[in-house]
Structure 1
Amino acid sequence: AAAVGATKQELTLSIAIVSLFSLLFLLAEPYAAMGLGLSDDVAGAWIGGTVDLTGGVVAGAAVVSARCEEVAAIIKMTQNSALGVYILLIAVLASRSGLGGKDAASPAPPAKGEGLVYGLWKKFPKFVLGYLFCSVVASSLADRERGIAVPLLGGVARWWFAIGFSGLGFSTSFRSLREQLDGPNVLVHY
């Protein structure tokens, strides 16, 4: 959100819409894939590529088969691993185009003389650095150490994720979200 100058309300709206559609896809896609007679690989690629929530990808694909779950998880992890690159590119483009700060969640564009690097640093979501750090640490551990550290850190990560999304949930007002939509067509916003 900060990379493109989105307000907290716009961020909440986009997360609510994506979560709503992810829930619908999570519930419908496994049964649609089976009804269409898709192979486990194709169903896994479809579910992994279209359901936004990683946990939802695994849960939905598991309804089809273990192979579908495996393929869906690989697709989703590939998407997730590319997020840092996408966010950096979006931050660069937004910084160059002058998008910026409508509220505290979105820093203003770099002031004259600040430079592109500082402007990117202000807008860049720092969680990506944490993700990269954890990936490097987990990759450099010996198998025995990794077997202990990764599940432990995974549990900690899930708690922080749950706390963060609970905070978003508490700040979500469906009345104000509905007012932000330009009419009933939520698909335009999705």
Structure 2
Amino acid sequence: MTVPDDVLGRLVSRVRATPPRLPARGADRPEEGTRLVVVDGPAGSGKSSLAAQLARVLPAQVVHMDDLYDGWSGLAAGVERLHEQVLGPLAAGEDGRYQRYDWESGGYAEWHDVPRAPYLVVEGCGAGDPRVDDVSALLVWVETDDALRLTRGLARDGEEAQGHWKAWMAAESALYAAHRTARRADVRLDGWGQVTWPTHGI
């Protein structure tokens, strides 16, 4: 997915117009905090592509939730690691740091620093956990139909991953129902980068 330039421009303008909320409000010199952009939505919907576009324009570091899950059953654990290792420290005025999970070896690999900076993009399933509401400048929801998502996923991971993908889709559906992520989002996009909500402007 490639988000059209006009939509990308509106997203970026909104982020830049929003005061930084990391560190949390009330911290010393909040004007020097980080504007957090969260891109959430079901697997295969186009989140990574949007995150890459935002990162180039803002500019910003991107944290991918795929690096935080500890495998196909690690959705909930990855969300916790995001808050414990990245967003929690940033909210406290400290740098974040996480250890990437290597899906091929089945273990943790190198560490990645997430320094305090003007902008940070976090993308991936579960990134829009309700705890981001108080610290994010923008929460974007991206979705498309299940058949297209599965086609995209199997093209990337191989047909042998179909069982994993279907189990993941069930797990993320339960998580999104509990978190009400789509309803809480500031902006919703379809799998082709078009705004579906709000219907008038961003």
TM-score exceeds 0.5: no
TM-score of the two chains, using structure 2 as the length reference = 0.29
TM-score between the two structures when normalised by the length of structure 1:
0.30
Report the structure, 1 or 2, having the larger strand content. 2
Where is the helix percentage greater, Structure 1 or Structure 2? Answer: 1
For the pair shown, the structure with the greater C-alpha radius of gyration is 1
